[in-house]
């Protein structure tokens, strides 16, 4: 009788309610997309916004940095970068190494990103600061067409701008993000972009403080978005509405963005559970 396959070890973490499964492994499985869809399903799987693989650097991956990170959204689509995902990933690596504090260079499709993890007094929670790179101009849609799309579900949008930090974003200034029907407005705006986009509805809510709600490409409505917080803070800073150090308030909690070169994101990462799941049987790559 054939022996049962070895179970896969995962850990689950969340950054301000934006949750991820982390798998530290030697090889990226060829069925990574299937694993993401299966394990991230909130009804038939474990449930998460994304699945992160941690891989050793080498010729089959990037040979820069201390470790390679590959992220797949809950729908199986790849994502080059996630600020909340980076913090959760860094916490997972620190726990695997048995250390409370860690400085890590992570190789992502968006480039090498440095992460610093510090322990806190709260069990299972760390504070992490991650290098998010530099916000660059995002996709440039037809302005008249996009304003027509934006105006249909979201007549209250004052102005908008796109940005890219390894993934594309649309930042929309509104009076009150809580008044926006995200399930309607988010996909309506995202559909206007050939490769999709994360869509953010943002307002100034205090001195050097913004409030944000997000529709994430590949995940839908989420409690927080690290790359979205970063791009939104950068855009609102360039609009002259906030200074360089910006508190970003999201439904899942607050993060601190320090706009610069590079821009950094600081916030908590929480370890939820360690899990053993059946191997789906896919080969490594």
pLDDT of 140 reads 75
Helix (H) or strand (E) holding 236: helix 226-238
Q: State the Cα angle at 139 between 134 and 140, rounded to 5°.
A: 125
Q: Which segments of the chain have a pLDDT < 70?
A: 1-4, 59-63, 141-155, 280-285
Length of the chain, in residues:
285
Q: Is-same-fold flag (8-131+269-277; 136-261)?
A: yes
Backbone angles phi, psi at 10, to 5 degrees: -130, 155
Tokens representing residue 253 in the block: 């909690």
Euclidean distance between the first and the last CA atom of the chain, given in angstroms as a whole number: 27
Q: Specify burial of residue 219 (Cβ count, 10 A radius: 0-12, 13-18, 19+).
A: buried
Q: What CATH number should be reported for the domain whose range is 8-131+269-277?
A: 3.10.310.10
For the stretch 62-73, pLDDT in tens is 567 899 999 999
* Alpha carbon distance 11, 4 (integer Å): 22
Q: What is the pLDDT of residues 118-145, one digit of tens each?
A: 999 998 999 999 999 999 998 876 555 6
Please tell me the distance from the alpha carbon of residue 131 to that of residue 108, in angstroms, as a whole number: 12
Q: Mapping DSSP to helix (H, G, I), strand (E, B) and coil, where does residue 256 land?
A: strand
Query: What is the predicted pLDDT for the residue at 283?
Result: 47
Fold of the domain built from segment(s) 136-261: Diaminopimelate Epimerase; Chain A, domain 1 (3.10.310)
Domain limits, the chain: 8-131+269-277, 136-261
**C-alpha angle 197-194-215 in degrees, rounded to nearest 5:** 20
pLDDT of residue 156: 72
pTM of the entire structure?
0.89
Residue 182: strand, helix, or coil = helix
């Amino acid at each position: 009788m054939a022996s049962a396959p070895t179970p896969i070890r995962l850990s689950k973490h969340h950054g301000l309610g934006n949750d991820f499964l982390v798998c530290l492994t030697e090889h990226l499985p060829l069925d990574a997309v299937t694993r993401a869809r299966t394990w991230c399903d909130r009804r038939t799987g474990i449930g998460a916004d994304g699945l992160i693989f941690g891989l050793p650097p080498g010729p089959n991956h990037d040979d820069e940095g201390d470790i390679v990170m590959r992220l797949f959204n809950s729908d199986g689509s790849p994502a080059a970068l996630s600020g909340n995902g980076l913090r959760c990933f860094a916490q997972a690596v620190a726990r695997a190494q048995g250390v409370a504090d860690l400085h890590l260079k992570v190789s992502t499709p968006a480039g090498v990103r440095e992460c610093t993890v510090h322990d806190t007094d709260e069990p299972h929670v760390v504070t992490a600061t991650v290098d998010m790179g530099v916000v660059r101009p995002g996709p440039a849609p037809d302005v008249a067409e996009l304003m027509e799309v934006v105006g249909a579900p979201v007549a209250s949008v004052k102005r908008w701008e796109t940005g890219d930090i390894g993934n594309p974003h649309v930042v929309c200034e509104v009076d009150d993000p809580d008044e926006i029907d995200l399930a309607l407005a988010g996909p309506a705006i995202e559909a206007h972009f050939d490769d999709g986009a994360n869509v953010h509805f943002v307002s100034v809510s205090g001195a050097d403080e913004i409030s944000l709600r997000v529709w994430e490409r590949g995940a839908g409505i989420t409690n927080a978005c690290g790359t979205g917080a970063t791009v939104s803070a950068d855009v609102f800073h360039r609009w002259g509405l906030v200074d360089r150090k910006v508190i970003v308030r999201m439904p899942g909690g607050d993060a601190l963005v320090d706009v610069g070169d590079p821009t950094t994101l600081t916030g908590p990462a929480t370890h939820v559970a360690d899990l053993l799941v059946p191997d789906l049987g896919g080969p490594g790559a």
